[in-house]
């Protein structure tokens, strides 16, 4: 019976291939929103974690910093129990590093005639350094002479994390909208399919077909449409992330490239696509037959 259901479902899809394709594309656009949201969310979170981990605290020095001022800042940082190490990068070393990592843009820097990059101190914090104590140190160092700017990633990350939290709420709303949208699209298409086969359904009922026998192919049709749509949206998303990973602005933010969705997320998307398609077709069948 399962074989009959599957072959009938594929036959129905094939017989209405234009409608089936249109539905699969529409469903995939809806599911694609969800996939894109997940990918953006996860990559943003990963980038933030990386930034906070790799560059916890950077002190940028002014171009006219004296050796005495530099020593004073370094001594203050090294003397702090929160700090595990301080690395000094001179203006020349910063330029050299930049040239090494950004060969394409080195010519642009050279055309300026001067070195625009500041000298800096990269500060490694101890793992047990609390954010409040670290913030107090940051505030103190900001006031020291010769210091131009202090970047404390936890501070920036904190702001971005609160943005991410709002983004998560928006994601829930988007997820709900997509869920309803997918069910509705699937419902509308399958309703049309059920109506197109209404005479056949009537004959099958007169022949004594059980409800599940009549419903089976239509339910599978909805399931397949959902699965195809989820596969399609994941494929497009994968291609898009791969393409974006090669663009300069993304390389700056995520040098390792943008990550695709983790296994649980893409498996979840495929399962959701199938399940939502199935739900839509079930609604379509029950509603249409009741008329």
Partner 1 sequence: MIQFYHVSKSYDGRQQAVSDISFRVKKGEFVYLTGPSGAGKSTILRLMICAETPDDGQILIAGRNIARLKQHDIPKLRRGIGVVFQDFKLIERKTVYENVALSLRILGYSEEVIRKKTGHVLKSVGVYSRKDSYPLQLSGGEQQRVAIARALVKDPIILVADEPTGNLDWDVTQDIMALIKDIHAQGTTVIVATHNREIIKRMPKRVLHIEAGRMLEQG
Both tokens assigned to 191: 């309703």
255 three-class SS: coil
Name the residues that contact partner 1, by CB under 8 A: 1, 3-4, 15, 199-200, 203-211, 213
Nearer of residues 64 and 290 to partner 1, judged by Cβ: 290
Other CB atoms within 10 Å distance of the CB of residue 289:
15
In the block, residue with structure tokens 């809806």: 30
d(CA 26, CA 40): 21
User: In this structure, are residues 76 and 143 in contact, taking their beta carbons and an 8 Å threshold?
Assistant: no
- Residue 59: which H helix or E strand, with range? strand 57-61
CA distance 106 to 96: 10
Read off the DSSP letter of residue 258: P
Positive/negative CA dihedral, 182, 186, 187, 192: positive
Give min distance, CB of 194 to partner 1, in A: 14
DSSP-derived secondary structure letter, 80: S
- Report the residue number, 1 or 173, with the smaller CB distance to partner 1: 1
Provide the 10 A C-beta neighbour count for residue 146: 19
Output 169 or 207, the one with its CB closest to partner 1: 207
Considering the complex, what minimum distance in angstroms separates the CB of residue 206 from partner 1? 6
Nearer to partner 1, 196 or 245 (CB): 196
Decide whether 109 or 204 has the Cβ nearer to partner 1: 204
Please state the closest distance from residue 188 (CB atom) to partner 1, in A: 22
Measure the CA–CA gap between 271 and 274, rounded to whole angstroms.
5
Q: Closer to partner 1 at the Cβ: 164 or 192? A: 192
Residue 34 CB, nearest distance to partner 1 (Å)? 36
Closer CB to partner 1, 127 or 208, in the complex: 208
Residue reference for tokens 């997918």: 182
Q: What's the length of the chain?
A: 291
Q: In what order do the strands lie in the sheet with 147-152?
A: 83-89, 120-125, 57-61, 147-152
Q: Which is nearer to partner 1, 191 or 197 (CB)?
A: 197
**Nearest distance in Å: CB 4, partner 1:** 6
Contact between 281 and 187 (Cβ < 8 Å):
yes
User: Rounded to the nearest whole angstrom, what is the least distance from the CB of residue 182 to partner 1 in the complex?
Assistant: 28
Q: To the nearest whole angstrom, how small is the minimum distance from the Cβ of residue 12 to partner 1?
A: 10
Smallest separation (angstroms) from partner 1 to the CB of 14: 11
Residues 6+ away with beta carbon under 8 Å from 275: 226
User: What does residue 123 show for φ and ψ, rounded to 5 degrees?
Assistant: -105, 125
């Amino acid at each position: 019976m399962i074989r009959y259901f599957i072959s009938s479902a594929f036959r129905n899809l094939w017989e209405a291939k234009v409608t089936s394709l249109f539905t699969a594309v529409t469903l995939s656009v809806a599911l694609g929103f969800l996939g894109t949201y997940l990918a953006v969310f996860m990559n943003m979170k990963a980038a933030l974690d990386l930034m906070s981990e790799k560059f916890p605290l950077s002190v940028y020095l002014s171009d006219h910093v004296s050796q005495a001022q530099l020593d004073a800042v370094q001594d203050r940082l090294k003397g702090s129990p929160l700090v595990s190490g301080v690395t000094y990068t001179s203006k020349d070393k910063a330029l050299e590093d930049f040239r090494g990592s950004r060969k394409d843009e080195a010519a642009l820097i050279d055309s300026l005639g001067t070195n625009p990059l500041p000298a800096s101190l990269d500060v490694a914090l101890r793992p047990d350094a609390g954010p409040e104590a670290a913030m107090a140190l940051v505030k103190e160092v900001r006031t020291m002479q010769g210091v131009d700017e202090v970047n404390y990633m936890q501070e920036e990350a904190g702001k971005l994390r609160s943005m991410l939290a709002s983004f998560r709420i928006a994601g829930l709303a988007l997820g709900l909208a997509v869920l309803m949208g997918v069910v509705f699209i699937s419902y509308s298409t399958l309703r049309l399919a059920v109506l197109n086969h209404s005479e056949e359904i009537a004959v099958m009922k007169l022949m004594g077909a059980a409800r599940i026998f009549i419903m089976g192919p239509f339910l599978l049709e909805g399931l397949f449409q959902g699965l195809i749509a989820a596969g399609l949206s994941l494929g497009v998303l994968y291609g898009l992330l791969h393409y974006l990973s090669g663009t300069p602005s993304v390389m700056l933010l995520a040098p390792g490239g943008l990550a695709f969705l983790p296994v649980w997320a893409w498996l979840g998307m495929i399962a959701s696509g199938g399940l939502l398609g199935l739900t839509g077709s079930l609604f379509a069948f029950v509603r249409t037959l009741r008329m």
